[in-house]
Amino acid sequence: MKKDFQLITSRKNLMRISTYSVSNPAENPCVFLVHGFKGFKDWGYGPYLCKFLAQNVFFSVGFNFSHNGVGEDLLNFTELDEFADNTISLEIEELNEVIEFYKNGGFGFLPQNPKIGIIGHSRGGAVSIVHCAEKKNLDALVLWASVSYLDRYSERQKEEWIEKGFFEVLNTRTNQLMRLNRVLLDDIIENKARFDLKKRIAEISAPILIVHGDQDLAVPVKEAYELYQSSKNENTELFIVEKAGHTFDIVHPFQGSNEKFDSVVDRTLDFLNRNLTLESL
């Protein structure tokens, strides 16, 4: 069963949320799906993955960060002013707020199962790493095609960004030129230590699964190895998907799964089962 919610954050921003469950959501472990840059909860595999998790006895939660740019229709980038003012710090804060919303009964019930997991994709993996390092409130972390560093801009790009006050990126799927205001660059520079992902992942004691395609052009596979080597290896698993790209060959609009994505989902489910089910308590 799918249910939709709206959360007004402490900064009075609107977050759109979808939850999925088959039965007894209060008794099932919870898994949050954290989208990445230019991502949203209903992109491609999002609903498919949440439904799959629900069918396998998880209470799954997909949500849009308030400034991800996707508006009321849930499918298009119609809030470009908000997108331009987004920051990493804001997303970390909002991830914590949606988890607290769940814990405090915001979805209509008080959780009876204490286990919580996160699946973070791309930049969503970075947000999840920092959140988990700081809050210590997680029982399993899955990183899909996660970045290993957040300052991904050349010195020339940053100089131009500072001079103009904004930087523009092309969304090749929608052909939209999307502006990033200086607040994002300032956030990355000012929080260099806080956003040191290789250092922060070493602070996480919860089990971690790192999944990456070896033909990822957006985030090179070497970043997966960097995160793995920086983590507490005894609690971390690495799964490299051969001949797979950044989204494991899933496209938007969703056109069904494939063998590569099936392997990612199966490995993720196995990891979550081992670390979030009641038997693992």
pLDDT tens across 182-224, in order? 999 999 999 999 999 999 999 999 999 999 999 999 999 999 9
pLDDT of residue 281 exceeding 70, the answer is no
User: CATH no. for residue 224?
Assistant: 3.40.50.1820
pLDDT at position 137 is 85
- Spell 110-121 as b/e; 16+ CB within 10 A means b: ebebebbbbbbb
pLDDT of residue 276 exceeding 70, the answer is yes
DSSP 233: G
- Confidence at 278, pLDDT banded by 50, 70, 90: low
DSSP-assigned beta bridge partners for residue 146: none
Say if 89 falls within a structural domain. Answer: yes
The residue ranking higher by pLDDT, 232 or 125, is 125
Which residues constitute the domain of residue 139?
2-152+192-280
Q: What is the pTM of this model?
A: 0.97
Say if 180 falls within a structural domain. Answer: no
pLDDT at position 279 is 54
pLDDT at position 280 is 47
| Mean of pLDDT values over 85-112 | 98
Distance CA 201, CA 195 (A): 10
pLDDT tens across 77-91, in order? 999 999 999 999 999
DSSP string, 13-26: -EEEEEEE-SS-GG
Say if 157 falls within a structural domain. Answer: no
233 neighbors 205 (Cβ within 8 angstroms) = no
Say if 175 falls within a structural domain. Answer: no
pLDDT of residue 98 exceeding 90, the answer is yes
> At a CB cut-off of 8 Å and minimum separation 6, what does 262 contact?
none
| Mean of pLDDT values over 226-252 | 96
pLDDT at position 195 is 98
Say if 235 falls within a structural domain. Answer: yes
Q: Tell me how many domains the chain contains.
A: 1
- Alpha carbon 182 to its chain centroid, in Å, reads 23
- Spell 70-105 as b/e; 16+ CB within 10 A means b: bbeeeeebebeebbbebbbbbbbbbbbbbbebbeee
